[in-house]
Amino acid sequence: MLNLILFGPPGSGKGTQSLKIAEKFNLAHISTGDIFRSEIKNKTELGIKVQSIIEKGDLVPDPLLIEILENALNQLKGKSGYIFDGFPRTHQQAKDLDIMLEKRNDSISLVIALDVDQNEVVKRLLNRAQLEGRKDDTEEVILNRMEVYQNQTAPLISYYKKQGKFVQVNGMGSIEEIFKSISDQIQQLQH
């Protein structure tokens, strides 16, 4: 199976690129952010629990992630693997993911990080705030999300480097240029 993680700070374009990669390589797209937003919209028990955390830009507690992940991994239906978008975000989540995949005789194939400039990312997020009205896209919350990323998520780079699974692509440029860089990395893996 082809199991990818698209990695990068908030606003780096993971969502846009994951959808394109999922389509091109026939992968199940697992976006924990999308899952939470849908739970919040539908006012489910989980949605109500996580709403205020997400609106502050903090991370949802790890045990809640295991729950939704187990569910998401079961949605494979005829796909060639998964692309994880916005997950894992903590060391614990990365370990849990490895264990869950191992149980299925599977593993992460590659982690592809989008390398973007911090100022650019804040600009993109503020712009998205105006277009989509996401509650976690105010300046204060964006800065908190960046800090959370630096403190809790960026350390995963060394976790995956140690496993020899980490590559970086330039995340600045047009959507198509970035898509090509990511696709090239995946194709190299397949040869």
The residue ranges that bind ligand ADP (CB under 6 A) are: 10, 32-33, 36, 53-54, 57-60, 65, 86-87, 89, 93, 136, 145
Return the HEC string of 105-172. Answer: CCCCCEEEEEECCHHHHHHHHHHHHHHHCCCCCCHHHHHHHHHHHHHHHCCHHHHHHHCCCEEEEECC
Smaller CB distance to ligand ADP: residue 144 or 189? 144
Looking at beta carbons, which residue is closest to ligand ADP? Answer: 33
Name beta bridge partners: 139: none
Smaller CB distance to ligand ADP: residue 36 or 160? 36
CB of 163 to ligand ADP, least distance (A): 19
Smaller CB distance to ligand ADP: residue 93 or 181? 93
- Nearest CA to 108 out of 153, 156, 144, 151 is that of 156
CB of 31 to ligand ADP, least distance (A): 6
Name beta bridge partners: 84: 5, 30
- Nearest CA to 162 out of 95, 93, 105 is that of 95
Q: How crowded is residue 63: how many other Cβ atoms within 10 Å of its Cβ?
A: 9
Smaller CB distance to ligand ADP: residue 155 or 187? 155
CB of 86 to ligand ADP, least distance (A): 3
CB of 65 to ligand ADP, least distance (A): 5
CB of 136 to ligand ADP, least distance (A): 6
Smaller CB distance to ligand ADP: residue 126 or 189? 126
